[in-house]
Structure 1
Amino acid sequence: MSNKKLVQHTSLTKAQLDTVITIAKQAGDAIMQVYSKPDLQIEQKQDDSPVTAADIASHNVIVAELEKHFVDIPVMSEEAADIDWNVRRNWSTYWLIDPLDGTKEFIKRNGEFTVNIALIHNGKAVAGVVYAPVLNKCYSGLLGEGAWLESNAKQQVLDISQQQINDKPIVVGSRSHISPGLAEYVANIGDHQMQSVGSSLKFCLVAEGNADVYPRLGLTSEWDTGAAQAVLESAGGQVLIYPELTPLEYNQKENILNPYFIAASPKWFERT
């Protein structure tokens, strides 16, 4: 598939998305081979965040397969992010991947980690796959086409575009990263339920309709959010920069850190 064709259509076909799902599952298999071993081979990166043999194994699988099936589309991965801005700024379309999102959850062996593969086109996350191998859940989305959850060999359509907010809103937050701003935000909501989960699964809980809002008032990188944003927005949700409430976009600046954002259904933003 050529990059020219992709730009024309702005996204993937469902068959092409299925190929990306297969790649995510292959990466999940590579992760699980490490997960089953006593030694996770944990090292520290320059920013003091952990990296394991599973992060690298997943990265290698995804990059090799994407380059094989989508030869003209560049790839940016958390594990190979040192791409010069003067090169990257010219990318209209590229893959943005986090080979193992939730490394801390992986180390804790709680199962709340994911493989994230996003397609970015003109700054927007237009397609995404989020695969949680331990939970046996695979979320996928094509912007403008729909979103799906495959679990235990069953597939359901995800659509939260008209979902009403719970009388006692369910707020989902990070299990490993709690920011001071989050406490102030949820205090303004009033009576609510708080649910904690790791990795990009927070977006997916909203996409499923099992949570009302995911406020992220702390730092994330673009690869942490691209795939799950595509899933949520394909399901009818929104991911908006906070407090401006403008769309969260990608590859618009040299720094790959995201601003604060709120991920929720449209009804949430109407409510607030």
Structure 2
Amino acid sequence: MSAGRSPERAAVDAAALLPALRAIAEQAGEAILGVYNGDHGVRAKADASPLTIADELADRLIVAALQALTPDIPVVSEETVETAGPAAAGAHRFWLVDPLDGTKEFIKRNGEFTVNIALVDDGRPVAGVIHIPVQGETYAGAVGAGATLRRGGGAPIPIRCRPAPADGVVVMTSRSHADNAALDAYLADARVAERRVAGSALKFCRVAEGVADLYPRLGPTSEWDTAAGQAVVEAAGGRMTMLDGSPFRYGKPDFLNPGFVVRGA
């Protein structure tokens, strides 16, 4: 490191972090599954969204592990944003974590929830991991180094976005937050072969692995909902932009996202 250069701005090898991130996400997934079939201890947060024991267990595990892995990089989690968010919003590099993305799906016990961890550098997610505890699957990617899928503890296998099929695209839509009228209007000029519904960050995974082609999100989300998915999709050859096609950026003071669209190759 050159004199006067802060640790935060030192070069980072995002791809080299992926094995550790997989392990952290999978450990959090085990903690979540330990609660899944029992008493969730559900209560409402200040914004009326649900919070469970599993959210809190996974949050503590992930935040502690990331702080040990990279002590100089701040961590913003959905559950710690009020304390960690203000400092990280001004940082060039920080972690974004959703310890249990899809809490409503977790409470319904439909399996469509994930653990999301992403590294943001200069407003862009450069590495991300999405773990699906019930399926035992872990998607991981570093932009410029490719994306992989690991199943059941096996070796990671490469995944890639596909070109849009000539007979129409497969569109992913939200299970719990869809605005079907707005989506119909957005897709009015598109050739659509099928719409598929999924919860949490699973929609990003389906585009990244080449079984879906388009994921428009017209309503609000938070940065921890999308950063890992964007990293995995872009590592797999896709892209995520604002609805007008401009770059999608992170580190906003309130960590709230506008609408966006995810596209395959």
Q: Normalising by structure 2, report the TM-score.
A: 0.92
Are 2:140 and 1:140 aligned? Answer: yes
Percent identity between matched residues is 44
1:116-138 superposed Cα distances (whole Å, 9 cap, x missing partner)? 00000000000000000101110
Partner of 2:220: 219
Superposition map of 1:33-48 within 5 A: 33-37=34-38, 39-48=39-48
Q: 2-side partners of 1:256 and 1:212: how far apart?
A: 26
Partner of 2:248: 248
Provide the alpha-carbon RMSD of the alignment. 1.8
Partner of 1:184: 185
Q: What secondary structure sits across from 2:262 in the alignment?
A: strand
Partner of 1:70: 70
Superposition map of 1:12-91 within 5 A: 12-14=14-16, 16-37=17-38, 39-83=39-83, 87-91=87-91
Q: What secondary structure sits across from 2:116 in the alignment?
A: strand
Letter of the 2:183 counterpart: L
Partner of 1:112: 112
Shift of 1:20: 1.0
1:110-166 superposed Cα distances (whole Å, 9 cap, x missing partner)? 101000000000000000000001011100001111100011324321122x62435
Q: What secondary structure sits across from 2:245 in the alignment?
A: coil
Letter of the 2:14 counterpart: L
Shift of 1:68: 1.2
Q: Do the aligned partners of 1:50 and 1:103 also contact (CA within 8 Å) in 2?
A: yes
Q: Normalising by structure 1, report the TM-score.
A: 0.90
Shift of 1:84: 7.1
Query: 1:53/1:84 Cα in 2 relative to 1: closer, same or farther (>3 Å)?
Result: closer
Partner of 1:103: 103
Q: Do the aligned partners of 1:11 and 1:121 also contact (CA within 8 Å) in 2?
A: no
Q: 1-side partners of 2:82 and 2:166: how far apart?
A: 43
Shift of 1:31: 0.4
Shift of 1:71: 1.1
Q: 1-side partners of 2:216 and 2:115: how far apart?
A: 21
Q: Do the aligned partners of 1:181 and 1:218 also contact (CA within 8 Å) in 2?
A: no
Q: What secondary structure sits across from 1:189 in the alignment?
A: coil
Q: 2-side partners of 1:106 and 1:174: how far apart?
A: 15
- Alignment gaps of 5+ in structure 1: 267-272
Q: 2-side partners of 1:216 and 1:138: how far apart?
A: 23
Shift of 1:248: 0.9
1:80-123 superposed Cα distances (whole Å, 9 cap, x missing partner)? 11147652343111110000000011011010100000000000
Query: 1:86/1:204 Cα in 2 relative to 1: closer, same or farther (>3 Å)?
Result: closer
Partner of 2:230: 229
Q: Do the aligned partners of 2:170 and 2:192 also contact (CA within 8 Å) in 1?
A: no
- Alignment gaps of 5+ in structure 2: none
